[in-house]
Amino acid sequence: MSETSIAIQSSNILVSLNGQEVLHGIDLQIRAGLWTSIVGPNGSGKSTLLKALAGLLEFHGEVLVFDAPLNSFKAKVRAQQISWLGQNEVTSDDLNVWDVVMLGRLPYQDWMAVPSSQDIQAVETALQATQSWDWRQRRLGQLSAGEKQRVLLARAIAVQAPLTLMDEPLTNLDPPHQVNWLEQVRCLTSQGKTVVSVLHEVGMALHADDMVVIQAGRIVHQGACSEPTTHRAIEAVFDNRIAIQSIHSHWIAVPNLLRSR
Amino acid sequence: MSLNKSNNWSIALVMLLSIALCIGIGLSVGSSGLESLQNAWHDEVAWQIIWDIRLPRTLGALAAGALLGLAGALAQGLFRNPLADPYLLGSASGATLGVALALAFFGGNQLATEVLVRVGLTGAAFVGALLAVVLTLVLAKGVQHTMRLLLAGVIVGVVMGAMASLISLMRPDILQNMQGFLLGSTAFIGWSACIVMACFLIPCLCFAWFFGFAMDALSLGESTAVSLGVPLRAMRMVIVLLVALATGTAVAQTGLIAFVGLAAPHLVRSIASVKSGSLALLSALMGGLLLLLADILARSLIAPQELPVGVLTAVLGGGYLLWLMYRNQNQGALG
């Protein structure tokens, strides 16, 4: 791990929501240019951790993004450095797809300025990458949930930030578009960009380079997805109800039915 | 994209032409009919009817409708709820309470000039509307929970409305003025009211246009807006101020005009896919057009007598809201 540069380094992150501490001193290192998945049971604090790393909620402790304190970033600089795709956010259905994806270029645009050719190129590339180009004139409200999710992914890609954080990006996506999402993540990392995702689908999360396993607001393991210790940690936090197995050189999570008999 | 922009310009042009036509009709509708308009150039009385009564009233209806349409578009964008309008958020009841308090304090004061009373009423309506919206936000603990927000708005509206009624009961001398205010009317709009509304409308429109990008980002959710570098807290404060200012100004001059703020943005959305800045401007035009039409109907339906325009917009707007609810229920997407 030490040979690769670090995109995010957190020290003793504490987060409280509604007066209750939900993250209890998170120490974390996310390697740059790779894809890291965060997994854990429901309510373990995965999304809260991701929001804290994105600077979207208040926390105690320190987060360094590319060696600079996150809190020292101006809002616009932070927006250029970190692209965010949230989970289950209520979106208005009025904007058309092109305008939604163009919002991803907001961090680069001056107030009231006309989009530059670079902005237009970024939006076109993102729309084509997510196979959303054909709907660019349609309103968000005219799309299915899965199609809408692809447009929101295109918006996140259009930011062209060196660091992309995604919370449940596979929500509502059918299997072919989940595969397409995997290809997009690989495309980003091949460009030297860092991706961090929170995923419920452990099988999909195992395709990442690194894995952070979290339980009850604490990190219980961090390591490469291919390491057996990572697999044992995942099985343990899910109460051994799943087993990590290898099929055709891919790691998959299968239900462990023996225990329920 | 260019197609949308040209479409928006076409819609704006059609609305502007409709507004010009309605202003023409508005100048020719009244107890003395078209005759006053025909004789305006060579009859001093006819000129006075056109210049001092019909023109300010017509332009006033346009400005008040535009303010309410703008406030509705901003409220719906801010709260990301298509059923939000200035009334449902309690700001109009707050304005009513403010006006009731102002009338109670200044109404009987012989020294108060007309201008002072007008400025006082506008200020009181503005402060009342602002406080009501802030109170709604506090009770709802932010804008994230739609149902809590609407409930808080209803509660604030009911309580402030009740307080205004109590003041009216305690001060019978303001009862008639309050009744006229609650029914809503464009009948007494003069040039001073027109100027006051124009002075508030133009900066409100400019700010709404300038903050359109932030409203667009907010339409994708608060976290996404913040992640895109939008100064959410400052933006929310500005939008709340604009909603309160636009509503308070309109309500202070015309009384309670129902449903224009709700219907205007919906009508714009039904004919165009627009970004928030354009939506605000087009909703202002649509609100102005709606209130102009309602004003013409109020003057002509039972001529030579008139209906309070607020009653008319309530009946027509209520029907529109019912239709909207029915349509959304059928689509399974209410709220």
The CATH number covering residue B135 comes to: 1.10.3470.10
What's the mean per-residue pLDDT of chain B?
Answer: 83
Å between B274 CA and nearest CA of chain A: 6
Q: How confident is the model at residue B12 (pLDDT cuts 50, 70, 90)?
A: very high
Do A89 and B222 make contact, defined as CB atoms within 8 angstroms? yes
Contacts of residue A107 in chain B, CB cutoff 8 Å?
Answer: 228-229
Residue A243 pLDDT exceeds 80: yes
| Minimum mean pLDDT range among A37-51, B18-32, B37-51, B181-195 | B37-51
B57 CB neighbour count, 10 Å cutoff: 23
Which residue carries 């309506």 as its tokens? B125
B79 lies in which domain range? 2-331
Q: Is B94 helix (H, G, I), strand (E, B) or coil?
A: helix
Q: Is A21 helix (H, G, I), strand (E, B) or coil?
A: strand
B236 contact partners, CB below 8 Å, separation of at least 6: B78, B143
CA distance B178 to B198: 24
Å between A204 CA and nearest CA of chain B: 24
Q: Is A252 helix (H, G, I), strand (E, B) or coil?
A: strand
Q: What percent of chain B has pLDDT over 90?
A: 27
Q: What is the ipTM of this complex?
A: 0.91
Q: Answer for the pair A59, A234: CB distance below 8 angstroms, yes or no.
A: no
Residue B2 pLDDT exceeds 50: no
A217: alpha, beta or left, given left = phi > 0 and alpha = psi -120 to 50? left
Residue of chain A nearest B279, judged by CA positions: A94
From A75, A96, A98, residue closest to B229, measured CB to CB: A75
As a whole number, mean pLDDT of residues A203-228 equals: 95
Read out DSSP for A77-109?
HHHHHEEEE-SS----S-SBHHHHHHGGGGGGP
Q: A86 in contact with B at a CB cutoff of 8 Å? A: yes
Å between B122 CA and nearest CA of chain A: 32
pLDDT at B116: 54
What's the mean per-residue pLDDT of chain A?
Answer: 91
As a whole number, mean pLDDT of residues A121-150 equals: 91
Q: Answer for the pair B242, B71: CB distance below 8 angstroms, yes or no.
A: yes
- Element containing residue A55 per DSSP (H, E): none
From B146, B210, B220, residue closest to A91, measured CB to CB: B220
Q: Which of residues 255-274 of B touch A (CB under 8 A)?
A: 269, 273-274
Residue of chain B nearest A73, judged by CA positions: B229
From A89, A90, A107, residue closest to B229, measured CB to CB: A107
pLDDT at B115: 53
Number of domains in chain B: 1
B306 contact partners, CB below 8 Å, separation of at least 6: B187, B298, B299
Nearest Cα to Cα of residue B195 among B333, B56, B71, B45: B56
Q: Half-sphere exposure (CA, 13 Å, Cβ side) for B226?
A: 16
Å between B317 CA and nearest CA of chain A: 22
Residue B4 pLDDT exceeds 80: no
CA distance A6 to A27: 13
Residue of chain A nearest B232, judged by CA positions: A75
Residue B7 pLDDT exceeds 90: no
Q: How confident is the model at residue A1 (pLDDT cuts 50, 70, 90)?
A: very low
Choice between A33 and B76, residue whose per-residue pLDDT is larger? A33
B33 CB neighbour count, 10 Å cutoff: 13
C-alpha distances in Å from residue A6, one per residue of A28, A65, B112, B146: 10, 8, 70, 40
Residue of chain B nearest A48, judged by CA positions: B223
Residue A218 pLDDT exceeds 60: yes
Contacts of residue A79 in chain B, CB cutoff 8 Å?
Answer: 227-229
Q: A120 in contact with B at a CB cutoff of 8 Å? A: no
CA distance A252 to B1: 44
CA distance A261 to A55: 45
Do B279 and A94 make contact, defined as CB atoms within 8 angstroms? yes
Q: Answer for the pair A166, A193: CB distance below 8 angstroms, yes or no.
A: no
Nearest Cα to Cα of residue B261 among B220, B313, B309: B313
Task: List the domains of chain A with CATH numbers.
Answer: 6-260 (3.40.50.300)
Interface residue of B6, B220, B279 to substitute, partner A, most A CBs within 10 Å: B220
B39 contact partners, CB below 8 Å, separation of at least 6: B46
Residue A260 pLDDT exceeds 80: no
As a whole number, mean pLDDT of residues B293-306 equals: 85
User: pLDDT by residue (tens digit) across A24-56?
Assistant: 999 999 999 999 999 999 999 999 999 999 999
User: pLDDT by residue (tens digit) across A75-120?
Assistant: 999 999 999 999 877 677 788 899 999 999 999 998 778 899 999 9
Do B213 and A106 make contact, defined as CB atoms within 8 angstroms? yes
Q: Answer for the pair B132, B95: CB distance below 8 angstroms, yes or no.
A: yes
Interface residue of B74, B228, B278 to substitute, partner A, most A CBs within 10 Å: B228
Å between A99 CA and nearest CA of chain B: 8
Q: Answer for the pair B65, B226: CB distance below 8 angstroms, yes or no.
A: no
